[in-house]
Amino acid sequence: MKLTGAEIIIKTLIEQGVTDVFGYPGGQVINIYDALYKYRDQINHVLTAHEQGASHAADGYSRATGKVGVCIATSGPGATNLVTGIATAMLDSIPMVAITGNVPCSLIGKDSFQEIDITGITLPITKHNYFVNDVSKLADSIREAFRIAKSGRPGPVLVDVPKDVQVATYEFEEEPIPEKFPLPLAKEEQIAQAVAMLNAAKRPYIYIGGGAAGLGLGQEIIALAEKLDAYIGCTFMGLSAVNGDCDRFLGMQGMHGHYASSMAQKESDLILGIGVRFSDRATGKVSAYAKGSKVIQLDPDFSEINKNVTVDLGIVADVKDAFRRIAAEVGKQEHPEWRAAVGKLQAQEARFDSEQRERAGEKLVPRRLFDIINAKKPPKTVIATDVGQHQMWTAQYASFDGPRRFVSSGGLGTMGFGMGAAIGAQVATKDPVVLITGDGSFGMNLNELATAVTYQIPLVIVIVNNGVLGMVRQWQTLFFGGRYSNTVLERKTDFVKLAEAFGAVGMTASTPAEFEQAFTDALAIQGPVVIDTYIDKDEFVLPMLPPGGSIEDIITNVDTKGEKPNAK
């Protein structure tokens, strides 16, 4: 059948299994929006308050499901407003297809109204992008965009379509969804070498990242840890990959990771990295990382092998297949000395946690805030965050109900990510969603509260309000002599009134009892609820690694009034 280019775009999205898209209309995508109206019974469009919100919503949609998220924007500022969201997806390997309109082909290169070279702008932050100047190539370009986005190491792809291509007509025939591009399988000798190294290890540590989080290997990773008498740590992006209640799971390592996890990695003699980049955020001083350990790295992306940490064995392959083959062949191991050593680290961490609770008394501190959230949140809750201290407290203290129950910006660290991402996650899953944000981050994209109200999306938005840009101020306290340059938010924002002005419900809480009541009430409301919680500005995220420091320099206790930290 003959369709316009705009209709071909929407029909191809439907063909690819897309049921929801996020976007904002404009002159150069008006034909696409007309086609969306025509096919509105087959594809749902969520109108966000800003194109950046649309990109984050598509990202959150993908993180919560593993499906390709889709966002649409017009040319010029509409397209450039997607850039931060596309970059966020790129650094965290999130499959996304961004569709932008552009001026007609005859006006390209003439500085036309709202003309911008969005393919050039996004070249470094996409897996691939397309400028489609021929309607006959439109459907196949979109199909290939989806295939690229979800194959190998996932990531965002942009498709830029001039307006005259949207108006032109061409025959369209629906095609089956193509398989992902196949990944190579690990060679037998690589599997054998990995098995031999694991069997020989006395202090094995399994290190999981974002590349493992979406593979559904959680129980199998735990089973391998039991078999090897190993312990499991993770990156920030690896959170929720395995059950946090497992005795073998030590939590996140690195900059603000759990003490036991970071120190166990330091004391290990072999690290099995599964879908990890070994980024500086997780390793600390790279030159000091894994000095006493052999390292095995499983990853689908050749460019990640030896990029940050020199490894003893790098396997570029289908990670799930390689992992299962290794797990099937390793022998049962017993390492009582390793268990005892890790047990001591866990006891030290428990002591730090106990001391923090004792110091808090009846104050509402992050640890107590998450005790309440963990106890009260419904099953299958998705926890989303913005970026800042609240994000790290979430990583340290929140419990997750399974894979894809944690939605947060890792690699780019995008303040303002949370609202759009939380909306996308709820649209995708229809499950309860709790957004943890800060008074700084929330201000970045709070306009998306209007989107949540319009669509009556049930979100519980917890603002961890300390009146400062907490993470930067923490560094200023510890390493810059308490010189608080532009990190004190001397604002008078009443978040309850603001929420009500948008049509949402607003609440406040300054004690544990008040927060427990507010959170319980919020969960019963069908629609967005903002809970403004008051946290002392001198609550710090600990442990932490000092700038340029290694794992052995980990800081667990500080005098927040002074200049110098009391390490360990």
Give yes or no: 163 in active site: yes
Catalytic residue among 96, 444, 471, 507: 471
CA pair distance 467, 396, nearest whole angstrom: 22
Instruction: Check if the beta carbon of residue 380 is closer than 8 Å to that of residue 409.
Output: no
Residues 454 and 508 in one domain: yes
Instruction: Check if the beta carbon of residue 333 is closer than 8 Å to that of residue 228.
Output: yes
The per-residue pLDDT for 285 is 81
Residue type, 214: G
Residues 477 and 526 in one domain: yes
Residues 375 and 435 in one domain: yes
Instruction: Check if the beta carbon of residue 251 is closer than 8 Å to that of residue 282.
Output: no
Tell me if 381 is assigned to some domain. yes
CATH of the domain at 203: 3.40.50.1220
Residues 256 and 286 in one domain: yes
Residues 151 and 220 in one domain: no
Residues 153 and 240 in one domain: no
| Whole-prediction pTM | 0.94
Give yes or no: 67 in active site: no
204-208, strands of its sheet edge to edge: 249-252, 231-234, 204-208, 270-274, 294-299, 313-316
Catalytic residue among 11, 67, 127, 163: 163
Residues 425 and 516 in one domain: yes
pLDDT digits (tens, 9 = 90+) for 268-303: 999 999 999 998 888 878 777 878 899 999 999 999
Give yes or no: 131 in active site: no
- Following CA atoms 360, 366, 367, 373 in sequence, which dihedral angle do they give, to the nearest 10 degrees? 130
Tell me if 560 is assigned to some domain. no
Residue type, 519: F
Instruction: Check if the beta carbon of residue 145 is closer than 8 Å to that of residue 97.
Output: yes
Tell me if 181 is assigned to some domain. no
Give yes or no: 52 in active site: no
Give yes or no: 471 in active site: yes
The H-or-E segment that residue 438 falls in is strand 433-438
Tell me if 177 is assigned to some domain. no
Catalytic residue among 7, 15, 16, 51: 51
How many helices and strands (H and E) does the chain possess? 23, 20
Tell me if 540 is assigned to some domain. no
Choose one of 121, 137, 171: the last residue of a domain.
171
Instruction: Check if the beta carbon of residue 158 is closer than 8 Å to that of residue 87.
Output: no
Residues 268 and 330 in one domain: yes
Instruction: Check if the beta carbon of residue 242 is closer than 8 Å to that of residue 222.
Output: yes
Residues 149 and 197 in one domain: no
Residues 6+ apart with CB under 8 A from 462: 369, 373, 434, 435, 436, 437, 519, 531, 533
CA pair distance 39, 20, nearest whole angstrom: 12
CA distances from 397 to 17, 280, 353 (A): 36, 22, 10
Q: Which domain holds residue 373?
A: 364-535
Residue of 94, 152, 149 lying closest to 317 (CA atoms): 152
Residues 519 and 392 in one domain: yes
CB atoms within 10 A of CB 285: 16
Residues 374 and 244 in one domain: no
200's tokens: 């020989």
CB atoms within 10 A of CB 127: 20
In degrees and rounded to multiples of 5, residue 85 shows phi and psi of -65, -40
pLDDT digits (tens, 9 = 90+) for 78-91: 999 999 999 999 99
**Mean pLDDT in runs of 10 for the chain (568 residues)?**
97 98 98 98 98 99 98 98 99 98 93 94 98 98 97 96 98 89 93 98 96 89 97 94 90 92 94 92 80 93 91 96 97 97 94 80 91 97 98 96 94 97 99 98 97 98 96 94 93 95 98 98 97 95 87 76 42
Tell me if 546 is assigned to some domain. no
Residue of 49, 113, 64 lying closest to 401 (CA atoms): 64
Catalytic residue among 113, 181, 302, 479: 113
Choose one of 277, 307, 342: the last residue of a domain.
342
CA pair distance 294, 273, nearest whole angstrom: 11
Q: What is the 3-state secondary structure (H, E, C) of 260-314?
A: HHHHHHHHCCEEEEECCCCCHHHHCCHHHCCCCCEEEEEECCHHHCCCCCCCCEE
The per-residue pLDDT for 179 is 82
By CB neighbour count within 10 A (0-12 exposed, 13-18 middle, 19+ buried), where does 524 fall? exposed
CB atoms within 10 A of CB 401: 19
Choose one of 144, 171, 198: the last residue of a domain.
171
The per-residue pLDDT for 528 is 98
CATH of the domain at 382: 3.40.50.970
pLDDT digits (tens, 9 = 90+) for 494-529: 999 999 999 999 999 999 999 999 999 999 999 999
Tell me if 113 is assigned to some domain. yes
pLDDT digits (tens, 9 = 90+) for 2-49: 999 999 999 999 999 999 999 999 999 999 999 999 999 999 999 999
Provide the domain count of the chain: 3
The CB-side HSE value for 427 (13 A sphere, CA atoms) comes to 33
Residues 382 and 526 in one domain: yes
CA pair distance 463, 193, nearest whole angstrom: 49
Three-state SS for 445?
A: coil
Tell me if 427 is assigned to some domain. yes
CA pair distance 474, 296, nearest whole angstrom: 35
119's tokens: 């393919």
CB atoms within 10 A of CB 108: 14
